[in-house]
Structure 1
Amino acid sequence: MSPIDKHGVGRTAYRAMLLGFAGDPAESDDAARFEEDGLLIVEAGHVVAKGSYAALADQLTPDTQLRDLTGKLIVPGFIDTHVHYPQTDMIASPASGLLPWLEHYTFPTERRFSDAASARETADFFLEELLACGTTTALVYCTVHKESVDAFFAASEARQLRMIAGKVLMDRNCPEFLRDTAQSGYDDSAELIARWHGKGRQLYALTPRFAPTSTPEQLQACGALAQAHPDVFVQTHVAENVDEIKWVAALYPGYRSYLDVYDRHGLLRRRAIYGHCIHFDDRDRARMAESGAVASHCPTSNLFLGSGLFDIAKAGAHGMAVTLGTDVGGGTAFSMLRTMNEAHKVARLSGHHLSATRMFWLATAGAAQALDLDGTIGTLAPQTEADFIVLDPQATPLLERRMQRAESLEERLFAFALLGDDRAVFETYVAGRCVHRRDDDARRRRALAAH
């Protein structure tokens, strides 16, 4: 379990640099709201006030605990919109492409998640990794087993995290030991929604793995659940790999595109998050924007598997909502900072400059807005849930040296994005409680290694 200290109990104030957003930096030059000497006041798990220290110092009542983090940067907790917790133990597995990778590594690994104890141990480790990297909310794929979902949500609830997750649906083109049916998948999902959606900070996502592993009957049943529960999320994969697209065309003849398969089964709507979205045409992008569905751009996974390059400029031109995802274990890092690093490089290969300010927005306020959670997380605004992280500009000698020469907020954030990783995350707070501290975590890991 993550360390939880006295900070966050009662009324606590944090003096540090503060970063928040009032909009998309791609649309407004003053969307980023930065305080060089800021104060964040938290009580009962929520933000009470945020602003300059000078303006808010008179709110430091005698019972307010003050943490002086001068020189460090507080930002909203990162939001990872596409990640597979059962794939934690198969990260960095070599394969020639997506489909062989699924067959040789993913499916065999997911088999053991029928065991509740094994699933819980992995969920605990997975969540600790997320928190160490500053990720406080994620859209998480479990496995086809109900036990994997219960284990994940139990681990998340114990930490009071705001997580979104769901049981994978697969009723064809997968091993028998991972196969459900259209009816059993429907029944299991309905049961899990009733048990977990809205319980504390837990939210449910209907999770067909991808069109090739679901029959039309299963997608139709999933669409019926989505219609019956408009506040639950939908998550799946689309247009990730050229061979995959050819497979979908053979399995679903008569559909205009891969995306159209989901659309015609009622799965394209607000709170629907589609991983990858690489091989889209303009009609797909326009339909995503019209429906309110969200693309999760997963650059480390796309590069690792050789799937292709997501065109963020074209997505923006069509008004398509975009967020960032690590896609572990196809992705090669839990760190959203490292994900930003690769997202910038992928954008450059398509001739687009993706600023660090916008990448931080995509991983925080932009993601919260796309998920319909912008009044809840992602902004540090008063009354929102106090999920935030403390970034250390002196985390490594190279980062410190570069920061000394930074002449703007963009340069500071760019240094974090291009040079940072989990070492840059000094502390992570969830609902106002410190659930990760870098130095404590390092000692814990050394102790575990010694035993």
Structure 2
Amino acid sequence: MSQTRKAYRAAILHSIADPAEVGIEASYEYFEDGLLVVENGRISALGHASELLASLPAEVPVNHYPDALITPGFIDTHIHLPQTGMVGAYGEQLLDWLNTYTFPCESQFADRAHADEVADVFIKELLRNGTTTALVFGSVHPQSVDAFFSAAQKLDLRMIAGKVMMDRNAPDYLVDTAESGYQDSKALIERWHGKGRLHYAVTPRFAPTSTPQQLTLAGQLLKEYPDLYMQTHISENLQEIEWVKELFPERKGYLDVYDHYQLLGERSVFAHGVHLCDDECARLAQTGSAVAFCPTSNFFLGSGLFNLPMAEKHKLNVGLGTDIGAGTSFSLLNTLNEAYKVMQLQGARLSPFKSLYLATLGGARALRLEERIGTLHPGTDADFLVLDYKATPLLEYRLQQAKSIAETLFVLMTLGDDRTVLQTYAAGQQVHQR
């Protein structure tokens, strides 16, 4: 048995609770010289190296990182696979950006070979940036999801994805129908959901691109398969919100459209939520739904500032999203850098421990996977990262001045990027080495 056991020695840090609920000091566990023991893809022990090394059989290999920090793998709760090739597209806000750049780029996924190529690039980028779980939009083409899940399964990654459902207000070359969207999704669910560490998400793009018939069938899928996920967009852009009011005049507001079609629930994740009101936050929290906070994308498209304190007030689950391709980086470290600025612009603070929570345990809770990922508790999946304190000359120099783990963590989040991720592990296997 010890042959399958490996140990990793370094400074080790993970979130154990939301700082907004328990206070900063009770929200994390830190071992200045820690040991993480992994066996059969799961974490079997975590603690101080001085205590655990004595009980470790001599033949168990110990990987020692004297200048690094081990954390749980990052969790990206909103990202688009088919937009990988159009990251950094210039000069539009949301609706024009979709028509000018996004839809033409997504049309290429009718070709399975193209989908396979992009899925390979996409997964390598995720792992290079330390993201071990993501909630992923495919394109309207089922083969986009087949390509992604095929690539993820080879590495035994815990990933969630779905085929976009979109039967109106998009180019003719990129729409399905209410019935074909339902049938294609159902076939993908049967093929992939629950296979290894893969999960399926019912994925209506957003209310304006789905007819009432399609939204009804999306809700039906969630009834037929109760452990599915649901992902869509909400209240990202003021022009978008007005459009929703025109298309659904009988509903009270944007969230009420989704509520009416029974799309809220414990595995429902709504991207952005920049312009949610108090009542909508309360309703999302009441139904166990979650919001994906996407600061990089919200800045890039000029959408606005997400009100994290309001979400906290309602105890609404919030994860972090890169939102590639409106977001401009696969790095959740970069994304946290932007999240900090979003809070600053609203006169609020984002502590480094809340940031760590959002990128790990907060994302896991948003996805209802906190028993499996998001922490380094024994029994959870061995999805973790080794972050290099010497990744760049500036980072190395700056960290020499750091006097606490809080300062070290904040510097990693403001100066760190893909270069900071030395190694990424998924289910105990190394899936990236810088």
Global fold match (TM > 0.5): yes
Q: Please give the alpha-carbon distance, in whole angstroms, between the structure 1 residues aligned to 2:267 and 2:55.
A: 38
2:240 to 240, 244, 250: 244
Q: What amino acid is the match of 1:219? A: L
**Structure 1 residues 9 and 102: alpha-carbon distance in aligned structure 2, compared to 1, 3 A threshold:** farther
Q: Please give the alpha-carbon distance, in whole angstroms, between the structure 1 residues aligned to 2:253 and 2:75.
A: 29
Q: Please give the alpha-carbon distance, in whole angstroms, between the structure 1 residues aligned to 2:55 and 2:370.
A: 26
State the shift of 1:366 in Å: 1.5
Structure 2 runs not aligned, ≥5 long:
none
Tell me the residue number matched to 2:115.
119
Q: Deviation string for 1:330-370 (max 9, x for gaps)?
A: 00100000000000000111111011111111111111122
In the TM superposition, what are the counterparts of 1:89-168 in structure 2 within 5 Å? 89-168=85-164
State the shift of 1:63 in Å: 2.6
State the shift of 1:96 in Å: 2.2
Work out whether residues 423 and 432 of structure 2, in 8 Å CA contact, stay in contact via their aligned partners in 1: yes
Structure 1 runs not aligned, ≥5 long:
1-7, 439-451
Tell me the residue number matched to 2:415.
419
Work out whether residues 135 and 159 of structure 2, in 8 Å CA contact, stay in contact via their aligned partners in 1: yes
In the TM superposition, what are the counterparts of 1:50-89 in structure 2 within 5 Å? 50-89=46-85
Tell me the residue number matched to 2:33.
37
1:19 to 4, 9, 13: 13
Work out whether residues 269 and 292 of structure 1, in 8 Å CA contact, stay in contact via their aligned partners in 2: yes
Q: Please give the alpha-carbon distance, in whole angstroms, between the structure 1 residues aligned to 2:235 and 2:297.
A: 14
Tell me the residue number matched to 1:206.
202
Tell me the residue number matched to 1:448.
none
Work out whether residues 269 and 366 of structure 2, in 8 Å CA contact, stay in contact via their aligned partners in 1: no
Q: Please give the alpha-carbon distance, in whole angstroms, between the structure 2 residues aligned to 1:268 and 1:24.
A: 23
2:327 to 324, 327, 331: 331
Q: Please give the alpha-carbon distance, in whole angstroms, between the structure 2 residues aligned to 1:232 and 1:200.
A: 15
Tell me the residue number matched to 2:405.
409
Work out whether residues 156 and 426 of structure 2, in 8 Å CA contact, stay in contact via their aligned partners in 1: yes
Matched, 1:189 2:188: no
Tell me the residue number matched to 1:445.
none
Q: What amino acid is the match of 1:86? A: P
Question: What TM-score, normalized to structure 2?
Answer: 0.98
Q: Please give the alpha-carbon distance, in whole angstroms, between the structure 2 residues aligned to 1:188 and 1:9.
A: 43
In the TM superposition, what are the counterparts of 1:212-227 in structure 2 within 5 Å? 212-227=208-223
Tell me the residue number matched to 1:343.
339
Q: Please give the alpha-carbon distance, in whole angstroms, between the structure 1 residues aligned to 2:170 and 2:366.
A: 32
Work out whether residues 3 and 60 of structure 2, in 8 Å CA contact, stay in contact via their aligned partners in 1: no
Matched, 1:178 2:174: yes
Tell me the residue number matched to 1:432.
428
Q: Please give the alpha-carbon distance, in whole angstroms, between the structure 1 residues aligned to 2:189 and 2:232.
A: 17
State the shift of 1:9 in Å: 7.2
State the shift of 1:22 in Å: 2.0
Q: Please give the alpha-carbon distance, in whole angstroms, between the structure 2 residues aligned to 1:348 and 1:229.
A: 42
Q: Please give the alpha-carbon distance, in whole angstroms, between the structure 2 residues aligned to 1:96 and 1:362.
A: 28
In the TM superposition, what are the counterparts of 1:209-358 in structure 2 within 5 Å? 209-358=205-354
Q: Please give the alpha-carbon distance, in whole angstroms, between the structure 2 residues aligned to 1:63 and 1:358.
A: 38
> 2:26 aligns to what SS in structure 1?
coil
Matched, 1:360 2:356: yes
Question: What TM-score, normalized to structure 1?
Answer: 0.94
State the shift of 1:202 in Å: 0.7
Q: Please give the alpha-carbon distance, in whole angstroms, between the structure 1 residues aligned to 2:433 and 2:199.
A: 26
2:392 to 376, 392, 396: 396
Work out whether residues 76 and 320 of structure 2, in 8 Å CA contact, stay in contact via their aligned partners in 1: yes
> 2:409 aligns to what SS in structure 1?
helix
Q: Please give the alpha-carbon distance, in whole angstroms, between the structure 2 residues aligned to 1:315 and 1:294.
A: 10
> 1:120 aligns to what SS in structure 2?
helix
Q: Please give the alpha-carbon distance, in whole angstroms, between the structure 2 residues aligned to 1:210 and 1:391.
A: 36
Q: Please give the alpha-carbon distance, in whole angstroms, between the structure 2 residues aligned to 1:59 and 1:338.
A: 39
State the shift of 1:107 in Å: 0.5
Greater Cα shift, 42-51 or 9-18: 9-18
State the shift of 1:26 in Å: 2.3
Work out whether residues 344 and 353 of structure 1, in 8 Å CA contact, stay in contact via their aligned partners in 2: yes
Indicate the RMSD between aligned Cα atoms, in angstroms.
1.1
State the shift of 1:405 in Å: 1.2
Q: Please give the alpha-carbon distance, in whole angstroms, between the structure 2 residues aligned to 1:142 and 1:96.
A: 22
> 1:26 aligns to what SS in structure 2?
helix
Q: Please give the alpha-carbon distance, in whole angstroms, between the structure 2 residues aligned to 1:222 and 1:250.
A: 21
Q: What amino acid is the match of 1:215? A: T
Work out whether residues 298 and 326 of structure 1, in 8 Å CA contact, stay in contact via their aligned partners in 2: yes
1:48 to 12, 21, 44: 44
Q: Deviation string for 1:281-335 (max 9, x for gaps)?
A: 1110110110111000000000000011101011111211111000000001000
Work out whether residues 9 and 433 of structure 1, in 8 Å CA contact, stay in contact via their aligned partners in 2: no
Q: Please give the alpha-carbon distance, in whole angstroms, between the structure 2 residues aligned to 1:9 and 1:392.
A: 27
> 2:199 aligns to what SS in structure 1?
strand
Give the total of aligned pairs: 431
State the shift of 1:20 in Å: 1.5
Runs of 4+ in 1 over 6 A off after TM superposition: none
Q: Please give the alpha-carbon distance, in whole angstroms, between the structure 1 residues aligned to 2:312 and 2:11.
A: 30
Work out whether residues 11 and 63 of structure 1, in 8 Å CA contact, stay in contact via their aligned partners in 2: no
Q: Deviation string for 1:1-47 (max 9, x for gaps)?
A: xxxxxxx9721100101111221122222211000000000011110
Work out whether residues 15 and 353 of structure 2, in 8 Å CA contact, stay in contact via their aligned partners in 1: no
